[in-house]
Amino acid sequence: MKSHMFGAVDSPTCIRRTNYQTTLTPTAYCDPIGGWNCAASLKPLPSKTNQSVPDPTILVTAAIDSRSFMMSNTAPGDGLATGFITLLAVAKALGGLSLEKKQNLNKNVMFVLFDGEAFDNIGSTRMVFDMKNSNFPLAVNKVMIQPAPIRMENIERIIELGALGHITDQLYVHFDTASEFKKEVDEIIGQINS
């Protein structure tokens, strides 16, 4: 590869070069990694003031970022786009349920879009960190009325919508075969195939 790239040597070198102001035009060689995850709940979350525990929650997740070796040229293609679009379609379909039907569900569904997954899963890692510190879905604010925090023990299932592949007649399902839920997964696959 002989194309010019902005990344240089290592992080300290890159940051040092970015901090030098040698021209009048702003040039950045390396930027800090960061972003915002986006989370939405199907059911209204109980408020923190009434001390109720959130319902068992199913997380439906997808990544919203990608990366490229060439600056300003990233094409996520089918992989990223299919998971992101599928999550939005499922959220819209379930969001169309009446409030009464949503309240009668014995489990909640939370849709989470992770930013930073292309860089060592920093979006999902941050969510787990926030859950362990009772800061998910919102950081603690003693002035505002907030929903009760969702913790790791409230999560019953995680469905990650990743690269769902090209449009074909085949469906691929990946799961841990040693999982205690193997029988349930086999039943779901059987229903899909029938």
Query: Residues 36-76: pLDDT tens digits?
Result: 899 999 998 887 766 667 789 999 999 988 766 555 555 55
Q: Look at residue 155 in the predicted model and tell me its pLDDT.
A: 93
For residue 60, the model assigns a pLDDT of 96
- Report the mean per-residue pLDDT for the chain: 79
Residue 158 sits at φ, ψ, to 5 deg, of -130, 125
Closest Cα to residue 56, out of 89, 105, 129? 105
CATH number of 33-164: 3.40.630.10
Q: Give tens-digit pLDDT for 82-118.
A: 888 889 999 999 999 998 999 899 999 999 999 988 8
> Do β-strands 155-160 and 38-41 pair in parallel, antiparallel, or remain unpaired?
unpaired
pLDDT at 146: 81
**pLDDT single digits (tens) 119-155:** 888 899 999 999 999 888 888 777 777 888 889 999 9
d(CA 124, CA 112) in angstroms, rounded, equals: 9
**Predicted local distance difference test score (pLDDT) of residue 59:** 95
Instruction: Give pLDDT, residue 81.
Output: 77
28: left (phi over 0), alpha (psi -120 to 50) or beta: beta
Residue 28: CA count within 13 A, CB half-sphere: 6
Residue 78: is its pLDDT beyond 70?
A: no
pLDDT score for 133 = 92
DSSP 147: B
* Calpha distance 89→33 (Å, rounded): 28
Which residues of the chain are in CATH 3.40.630.10 domains? 33-164
Q: Which residue has the tokens 């205690």?
A: 180
The answer, yes or no, to whether residue 2 has pLDDT greater than 60, is no
Q: Are 116 and 122 in contact (CB under 8 A)?
A: yes
- Say yes or no to pLDDT of 169 above 90: no
Cα distances (Å, whole numbers) of residue 194 to 165, 173, 189: 21, 15, 9
Alpha helices (H) in 32-108, listed in sequence order: 77-95, 99-104
As a whole number of angstroms, the distance between CA 59 and CA 64 comes to 16
pLDDT at residue 31 above 50?
A: yes
Distance CA 191, CA 51 (A): 39
* Residues 158-185, mean pLDDT to the nearest whole number: 72
Give 187 or 53, the one with higher predicted confidence.
Answer: 187
Closest CA to 58 of 46, 48, 43: 43
Whether 54 contacts 39, CB under 8 Å = no
- What is the per-residue pLDDT for 163? 75
Instruction: Give residue 31's Cα distance to chain centre.
Output: 22
